[in-house]
Amino acid sequence: AIMSLSNAHHISKEEWESHNKMLLEPLAVNDSEVFSIIKKEKHRQTYGLELIASENFASRAVLEALGSCMNNKYSEGYPGQRYYGGTEHIDELERLCQKRALEAYSLDSEKWGVNVQPYSGSPANFAVYTAVVEPHGRIMGLDLPDGGHLTHGFMTEKKKISATSIFFESMPYKVHPETGYIDYDRLQENARLFHPKLIIAGTSCYSRNLDYARLKQIANENGAYLMGDMAHISGLVAAGVVPSPFEHCDIVTTTTHKTLRGCRAGLIFYRKGVQNVDAKGKETLYNLESLINQAVFPGLQGGPHNHAIAGVAVALKQAMTPEFKAYQLQVLANCRALSSALIDHGYKIVTGGSDNHLILLDLRSKGTDGGRAEKVLEACAIACNKNTCPGDKSALRPSGLRFGSPALTSRGLVENDFRKVAEFIHRGIELTVEVQKSLDPKATLKAFVQALSQVEKFQQRVAEIRVEVEAFAGQFPMPGLPEL
Ligand SMILES: *Cc1c(COP(=O)(O)O)cnc(C)c1O
Ligand SMILES: *[C@@H]1O[C@H](CO)[C@@H](O)[C@H](O)[C@H]1NC(C)=O
């Protein structure tokens, strides 16, 4: 006879009752270790200045949906065609999310469809490549050091880094090293030689609007698809405060947690219906819908993250309100205020300003670089990223800093507050320059960080700035769950 596993160890009544009780205990009670880490992170977010351009603070309603029982359900497949039972409410949720996604971007459901299942922006992009580009087929996206995203095909001379460059052939396009604007002429010349199957119109560190019409014309010349990746700007697009990629693109992907201010997930929009009509009046239809849906599931993913889909649906509803439009207008106004205040402090901004929610500060004229300034600002409770600037010789020593206004705008800051933020940044960079002057010009970043954290006068300066930053940031309300 086969001994059942439960016989191997006798479960006492008390043990079983304690197990059942455990499942009902609040986090703070059941896992004080994780709870206290979360509390520390909440404190960091509340008392720091969050200027990372890709980050935002999700609303309470979004986080409630994300933390709901929707986490528990498997539902491989699509509404109406699932591989699991018990999916009636999941179907209702996914259809609602799809409907809101199309509405939020004013899309006609006869002409556009949307897949709301991608786990995040990177898997959404890879699903598109898998759907429409054959293995080792050709892709052109903006190079990572020029403001593109890893998933657009990043590789170095020595190594293919992104899976996009491993499984497909990527030929990046660049910004002009002097102006910082995308060099569309070079892209056009190279596309004529390279004949890509897909061109990507999307950026992670580019402060100017894209010329989607020009990109579409280049794509058409080569019979390529144009994919918009609006990950950074999808909230601005929903609010109608920057040009929309939908007018010219065949496919549009996005994350949902950046300017859109939802939980972490991804979306893929694709065209449906008539693709073109030839001279004889014969219509060709898009076949993107089945290609993309099959690439997401079963091609690349298993069960959709239904809790995330619930959070995205809530965020999309919020994105259709007049309040959200006001928020995005304030995001733009704050970014301009930050940019012009930094220019007044004597800094150079790549392209001279911004059309969107982010700026790239060029530190080359200051005799320091992004890596060092980022460390000092972090010590002062100011969060931003180092980034390469157009014309940078080495990606290992990026000379810029990327700042974005979306997160702090969600906390209610307006233009005057951002001028104060610019002052804090300026003090942090002045300190960076001083620390660097105290060291050998060839000193490593490690030596720099050591000096910053060990030389008493530098520590004092950091502490002074940090106390003021924390007092300032602490005044503003924090979106999200009150406890966590
Ligand atoms: C952030 C970003 C992504 C990837 O999103 P993840 O959710 O981090 O995977 C893709 N494309 C662009 C342009 C991005 O900025
Ligand atoms: C919390 O969970 C653990 C198992 O991880 C369990 O043993 C314990 O009884 C629960 N309660 C407390 C207060 O730790």
Mind listing the pLDDT tens digit for each residue in 253-263? 999 999 999 99
Which residues, 6 or more positions from 268, have their beta carbon under 8 angstroms from its beta carbon?
114, 115, 118, 124, 127, 128, 251, 252, 253, 292, 296
pLDDT at residue 371 in the model? 97
Residue 52 predicted with pLDDT over 60: yes
> Which residue(s) pair with 182 in the sheet?
175
Q: Whose CA is nearest to atom 5 of ligand 1?
A: 121
Q: Comparing C-alpha atoms, which of 183, 182, 155, 186 is closest to residue 168?
A: 155
pLDDT digits (tens, 9 = 90+) for 96-147: 999 999 999 999 999 999 999 999 999 999 999 999 999 999 999 999 999 9
pLDDT at residue 5 in the model? 58
Q: Which atom of ligand 1 is nearest to the CA of 257?
A: 7
- Closest ligand relative to 268 C-alpha: 1
Residue 483 predicted with pLDDT over 80: yes
* Full DSSP string of 236-294: HHHTTSS--GGGT-SEEEEESSSTT-S-S-EEEEEE-SEEEE-TT--EEE--HHHHHHH
pLDDT at residue 276 in the model? 86
Q: Comparing C-alpha atoms, which of 105, 112, 53, 54 is closest to residue 319?
A: 105
Ligand 1 test: best mutation among 52, 146, 151, most atoms within 8 Å of CB? 151
Q: Which atom of ligand 2 is nearest to the CA of 30?
A: 1
pLDDT digits (tens, 9 = 90+) for 282-321: 999 999 999 999 999 999 999 999 999 999 999 999 999 9
pLDDT digits (tens, 9 = 90+) for 310-361: 999 999 999 999 999 999 999 999 999 999 999 999 999 999 999 999 999 9
CA of 22 to the centre of ligand 2 (A): 6
Residue 8 predicted with pLDDT over 90: no
pLDDT at residue 396 in the model? 86
Residue 429 predicted with pLDDT over 60: yes
298 preceded by cis ω (within 30°)? Answer: yes
Q: Are 139 and 164 in contact (CB under 8 A)?
A: yes
Rg (CA), the chain: 25
Query: Which residues line the pocket of ligand 2, CB cutoff 6 A?
Result: 18, 22, 25, 29-30
Q: Considering the chain, what is the average pLDDT of its residues?
A: 96
> Which residue(s) pair with 276 in the sheet?
284
Q: In this structure, what token pair is assigned to residue 2?
A: 């086969």
Active site residue 205: yes
pLDDT digits (tens, 9 = 90+) for 143-153: 999 999 999 99
CA of 49 to the centre of ligand 1 (A): 22
Pairing of strands 138-140, 198-202: parallel
Amino acid identity at 145: P
Q: How many helices (H) and strands (E) does the chain have?
A: 19, 17
Q: Are 389 and 145 in contact (CB under 8 A)?
A: no
CA of 378 to the centre of ligand 1 (A): 23
Of the candidates 97, 149, 152, 205, the residue annotated as catalytic is 205
User: What's the start-to-end Cα distance of the chain, in Å?
Assistant: 51
Q: Comparing C-alpha atoms, which of 192, 256, 278 is closest to residue 59?
A: 256
Q: Comparing C-alpha atoms, which of 311, 309, 307 is closest to residue 262?
A: 311
Q: In this structure, what token pair is assigned to residue 370?
A: 């992004």
pLDDT digits (tens, 9 = 90+) for 371-425: 999 999 999 999 999 999 999 988 889 999 999 999 999 999 999 999 999 999 9
Q: Are 221 and 370 in contact (CB under 8 A)?
A: no
Ligand 1 test: best mutation among 253, 255, 305, 402, most atoms within 8 Å of CB? 255
Q: Is 160 left (phi over 0), alpha (psi -120 to 50) or beta?
A: beta
Q: Which atom of ligand 1 is nearest to the CA of 120?
A: 7
Q: Which of 47-56, 385-394, 426-435 has the lowest mean pLDDT?
A: 385-394
pLDDT at residue 375 in the model? 98
Tally Cβ neighbours within 10 Å of residue 191: 21
Q: Are 308 and 66 in contact (CB under 8 A)?
A: yes
Query: Which residues line the pocket of ligand 1, CB cutoff 6 A?
Result: 54, 120-122, 125, 149, 151, 202-204, 229, 231-232, 255
Q: Are 226 and 141 in contact (CB under 8 A)?
A: no
Distance (Å, whole) CA 41 – CA 416: 27
pLDDT at residue 359 in the model? 98
Residue 170 predicted with pLDDT over 90: yes
Ligand 2 test: best mutation among 14, 24, 30, most atoms within 8 Å of CB? 30
pLDDT at residue 59 in the model? 98
